Structure 1
Amino acid sequence: MPDAFFQKKRKRAPSAGGGGADVRSASSPRAGPSSSRRHTATLSAHKRANRKRHDDDNDSPDNDDEGLDTMDLQHRYDQGPDSEDEAERAETAAEARVRLARQYLDGLRAADHPDDDGADAAAADRDNIAARLQKDVAELSGKMHTFVANRLVAPTGADRVLLGVRGHRLSVTAAVASSDATSLFTAGKEGSIIRWRLTDGKMVRVLPKRAKRLDQDGRPLPPTKSHRSKTSGAARRRERMTKAKGKARATDGPHGGAEGGGGEGEVEGGDGDETSRGATVGGYLDVGEGEGHTDEIWALAVSGDGKYLASGGKDRRIGIWSLGDDDEARHAGGAERWLKALGGHKDSISALSFRPSSSELYTASFDRTLKLFDVSQLSYIETLFGHQESILSMSCLRAETAVSAGGRDRTCRFWKIRDESQLVFRAGAKSRLREVLEGGDLARLEERERDDEEQQRRRGVKESEVRAKAAELVEGSVDCVAMVDDAHFLSGGDSGSISLWDLAKKKPVFSVAAAHGFHDVVSETEGKIQTPRWITSLACLPYGDVFASGSWSSEIRVWALDSRLRSFSALFRIPAIGFINSLQLVQPPPSSLSIDAETGRKTSGIILPALWKRRDGLSSSSSSLVPVDDEEGDSETIEDPEEQEGEGERGMVRGSKESVPPFLVAAIGQEPKFGRWFKIKEAKNGALVVPFAFEA
């Protein structure tokens, strides 16, 4: 018997009455309408009942439900075909992109020229919009897009403004400013952090070193009278406060008195008294058990949103401080508190850096590793390995990349966090040993060097430049790095050279040897020996064409990068005696643009030099300057910079990113950051703030 699966199925013959009717319905013993007709009639009855119930619910005043039944899903034929709703529904994806592009261009045109019209304004709009679009593309692609070098005014003569703050007993190792240019943070080797107002240079708060004596509740106790220093900054503040209160009682009666002793002074590492601690300007923050640092602080970093401050140093842990959860608290400068200590490093912390517009924190250490933390969650993310020696410097920008300097391993490593890879760049000068290992002949190399020096002398090249060329062949370490954009960075080392690197090339694109000159050392056996001054710090304007370098040559040098990033040249010098332990170039917000009515020069209206005590560097005496009224200076509330303008001479206007000149922040000390093998006695420990200006 054949299988039923392979048998042909017979087709049913259609009924004679109609194509769609079922045969079984015709042969049904019951008379009447078919089942499909009965089902249609039932659905119609349900719809009429639902519609009636829906009308009754709409007529009732207590109906507040707005669900799918109450939505008007019918098409309105009275709407024109050109209405906005119909156009948005009918447009394609390409037409939507065109419409959004037109809206974007209209916004740019309204922002640049809100009141201009006519043919000239239209031509200017086309030029400005084209430049703006090119700049936006460069900004999104991570390329250099801020060009301010050719407009900077050299701070010389009457135009020189060197604002200084001094409050640390030992060398200042780090100085950073917040992104909104309202606060300045400095750290010293005594283990304390000081917060300053950038508007007038007043001390806001001291985050001290962990105290040695604590009470039962874990609060720090003031030192006993026998152990109190009589010459420290805290002692001088106590004396000033006592004199001020005595003078007030003598003039105002028994109920008069001054409140707080604001102003500048040196910080005694972790020691303070009850009168200087609290909510007054220059007051100490209570640091309890397990909080704060116990040794030297070497690095500081402020998050882009201004909520967090990170600090690290010789105690091998990263301190996270909260600066306030809202803008008002951060502006008042009274919301600092200790959050947590992040661990994981096995040696001293040498560098810290927040990724802009993010809470990700990069840390570098002498244990030859980099670590990545999420400060908003106070959690650890990743560890990066690769360096063979202690990491001395690190820099990062918006992209998930970072560059680090490996010290004595003479390498710069470019880290790609997302790809989990790294690029290695062999920094340092090319030595004779490397030349031989790469296939060269040592005898021919020495002969070629002698011939090159002789030719340079015949051409009239200065002897110092000849020595600089010879010094370039001395290998050393890479001490500092700074990123220019997402594809270029700068490096400096103990050979005194500054190099510009491109990620697409193994060797430096451009280098300057002995950028800060030579140091003369007299030896008993070899006589006078000249060694190049090593580069102690580098800082570049983020995605800009200006960078600064520091050493211990009694000056800070400012350089201009080529627009194609092929070379750089010197712009001007800023006097600064001591070791430049850290540098930072800050771009103030566009809303802080100020134009001088007399000269027409553009400056940042946030920093007001007339309110600072030291306006000619750290060595200037505050007694020779016009003092600020103490009654206004001791107030903790920071007034709006727009309200502190100089009697109408300066006007705050809205500007673009490139229209506001940057300012420079430098940490200066008598000793280098990582050691005490050299000391410049005539230097002053403090921080220097140099506001730049643009030509009219």
Structure 2
Amino acid sequence: MMMMNRKNNKLLTLKRQKIKRRSFELEEKETVAEKRKRLCDEFRENTRVALRREEEGDEFDEDSPLARRLQAQQLEDSGRRCRYIASRVQNPKTRQGGGGGFELVVKHRQSVTVAVLSEDDSIVFSASKDGSIRQSHLDHDHGGKTEETCYAQQGRAHVLALAVSSDGRYLASAGFDRDIHLWDTRTRQHIQAFSGHKGPISCLTFRQGTSELFSGSYDRTIKIWNAEDRSYVTTLFGHQSHVLSIDCLRKERLLTAARDRTMHLWKVPEESQLVFRAPASSLECCCFINNDEILSGSDDGSIEHWSVLRKKPLHIIKNAHSLSTPNTLDVKQNHDLSNNCKESLDHVPETVGPSACSWVSSVAVCRGSDLAASGAGNGVVRLWEIEKDAKGVQPLFELPLVGYVNSLAFAKSGKFLVAGVGKEHRLGRWGSLPAARNGVAVHPLQLS
């Protein structure tokens, strides 16, 4: 029996070596879909080997690379594990070799309203006020675009929201036509339109790992859909004004922000909700940091750090994107940014009021980490560090970018940041920045 086990183990080892050699030969010329399939095959083979050894009486090694990888992946997916990478981000102005700033990789005729990344960070989907939707493949080495395709839109209504499913199969789009359009990302063909909202749809999101789709609208409601079944599920009521932002992780909990100065945390199975009230201004955007913490941006230029256990913000960063005076950032104990913000005033014409440019129009968090970003119209994207145990939010660096930053998205690895930028704010025309360029910009982030 022992000789047979050794023989089986030897055969399995040879088989794995053969798969590794084959994957190395094909790695450089394979497509994204082929790479995804190869990685799945390797994962299944490693799992099969581990199970076979356990059945044959060999003790499963909990410290093996496979066990550690599976455990880490499970913790990250559940939101219980945090990668502390913010302190490793190098300042673009001081790191060796310099390093470029934002590079425009996708161009649109009008302001980009939203930009989202696929689960593997290889594709960026963007939409614009001109009604166009573009799908662009990214080069991970330097963030450049390699291929671009367009989705055929009928009616050319403003597209305000996009969401892509975790498996990369479905793309949902919505906007001023009040319908949600479901697309097949492989064929770029229109699948179905969901009707039901009575006002423009401003935000969309898929629940991670599922085909469950959530939509927020100017009609003050949130609707739940199932992309796989092509069906409507239910409607959530509670907001008293336009719903502007929405986010969801793997849990059946939904986060929404509206112009009624409230943010709601919905517990979907229980059909209950928690209400968080902003102290003095309207919330423009929100996102989960993890299952217990939230980040939001307001129209007075401030950023709020919340806990799901408290109805008021834990910390408020005032003047996060202010245009008034340099060094006005107020973070917990009045810590100032090291960079002077005088330069950010140069691109703002006299016809544009400073209040419109200082609205925090987008916030984003690198999934499962302590790295966050915020954008407005004051000429910079700011990087932030979320301190451990909800102790606060500290500023890192400024990344110059002229225009209204209407959308932000981090790569899962934290190696680059995507921004949807335009001459105008995504929801209106309160001011125009002629120096801005409409499109999707990518900024590489180097980790030490």
Interval of TM-score (by shorter of Structure 1 and Structure 2): 0.7 to 0.9
The 5-angstrom pairing of residues 204-283 of structure 1 reads: 204-210=148-154
The 5-angstrom pairing of residues 320-339 of structure 1 reads: 320-324=182-186, 335-339=187-191
Q: Could you say which structure has the larger radius of gyration? A: 1
Q: Contact 1:191/1:208 (CA < 8 Å) preserved in 2?
A: no
Asked if 1:561 is matched to 2:413, the reply is no
Asked if 1:419 is matched to 2:265, the reply is no
Deviation at 1:148, TM superposition (A): 1.1
The 5-angstrom pairing of residues 155-554 of structure 1 reads: 155-156=92-93, 158-199=98-139, 200-210=144-154, 293-324=155-186, 335-407=187-259, 409-427=260-278, 429=279, 475-519=280-324, 531=355, 533-554=358-379
Distance in 2 (CA, whole Å) between partners of 1:132 and 1:309 is 28
| Percentage of matched positions with identical amino acids | 36
What secondary structure is seen at the aligned counterpart in 1 of 2:236?
strand
1:347–1:156 CA distance, 2 compared to 1 (3 A): same
Q: Which has the higher strand share?
A: 2
Q: Which has the higher helix share?
A: 1
Number of matched pairs: 364
Q: Which blocks of at least 5 consecutive residues in structure 1 are unaligned?
A: 1-78, 84-98, 113-128, 211-292, 325-334, 430-474, 522-528, 588-659
1:661–1:411 CA distance, 2 compared to 1 (3 A): closer
TM-score (norm 1): 0.49
Distance in 2 (CA, whole Å) between partners of 1:341 and 1:297 is 14
Deviation at 1:294, TM superposition (A): 3.5
Q: Contact 2:322/2:358 (CA < 8 Å) preserved in 1?
A: yes
Q: Contact 1:397/1:542 (CA < 8 Å) preserved in 2?
A: no
The 5-angstrom pairing of residues 30-109 of structure 1 reads: 106=61, 108-109=63-64
Deviation at 1:678, TM superposition (A): 0.7
1:103–1:565 CA distance, 2 compared to 1 (3 A): farther
Partner of 1:453 in structure 2?
Answer: none
**C-alpha RMSD of matched pairs (Å):** 2.7
Q: Which blocks of at least 5 consecutive residues in structure 2 are unaligned?
A: 6-53, 326-344, 346-352
Distance in 1 (CA, whole Å) between partners of 2:127 and 2:318 is 31
Deviation digits for residues 326-345 of structure 1 (CA, Å, limit 9, x no counterpart): xxxxxxxxx21110111111
Q: Contact 2:293/2:305 (CA < 8 Å) preserved in 1?
A: yes
Asked if 1:679 is matched to 2:432, the reply is yes
Q: Contact 1:190/1:209 (CA < 8 Å) preserved in 2?
A: no
1:137–1:339 CA distance, 2 compared to 1 (3 A): closer
Deviation digits for residues 420-469 of structure 1 (CA, Å, limit 9, x no counterpart): 10000111x3xxxxxxxxxxxxxxxxxxxxxxxxxxxxxxxxxxxxxxxx
Distance in 2 (CA, whole Å) between partners of 1:177 and 1:105 is 37
What secondary structure is seen at the aligned counterpart in 2 of 1:518?
coil
Partner of 1:286 in structure 2?
Answer: none
Q: Contact 2:90/2:445 (CA < 8 Å) preserved in 1?
A: yes
Distance in 2 (CA, whole Å) between partners of 1:561 and 1:305 is 29
Deviation digits for residues 572-623 of structure 1 (CA, Å, limit 9, x no counterpart): 1111100000111121xxxxxxxxxxxxxxxxxxxxxxxxxxxxxxxxxxxx
What secondary structure is seen at the aligned counterpart in 1 of 2:114?
strand
Q: Contact 1:144/1:545 (CA < 8 Å) preserved in 2?
A: no
1:104–1:142 CA distance, 2 compared to 1 (3 A): farther
Distance in 2 (CA, whole Å) between partners of 1:661 and 1:104 is 36
Distance in 2 (CA, whole Å) between partners of 1:139 and 1:390 is 33
Deviation digits for residues 202-227 of structure 1 (CA, Å, limit 9, x no counterpart): 342112432xxxxxxxxxxxxxxxxx
- 2:112 maps to amino acid: V
1:140–1:661 CA distance, 2 compared to 1 (3 A): closer
Distance in 1 (CA, whole Å) between partners of 2:381 and 2:393 is 16
Range moving further from structure 2, 153-162 or 574-583:
153-162
1:357–1:136 CA distance, 2 compared to 1 (3 A): closer
Deviation at 1:183, TM superposition (A): 1.3
1:105–1:580 CA distance, 2 compared to 1 (3 A): farther
Distance in 2 (CA, whole Å) between partners of 1:561 and 1:294 is 40
Deviation at 1:566, TM superposition (A): 2.0
Distance in 2 (CA, whole Å) between partners of 1:166 and 1:136 is 32
Q: Contact 1:395/1:481 (CA < 8 Å) preserved in 2?
A: yes
TM-score (norm 2): 0.76
- 2:255 maps to amino acid: V
Deviation at 1:156, TM superposition (A): 2.5
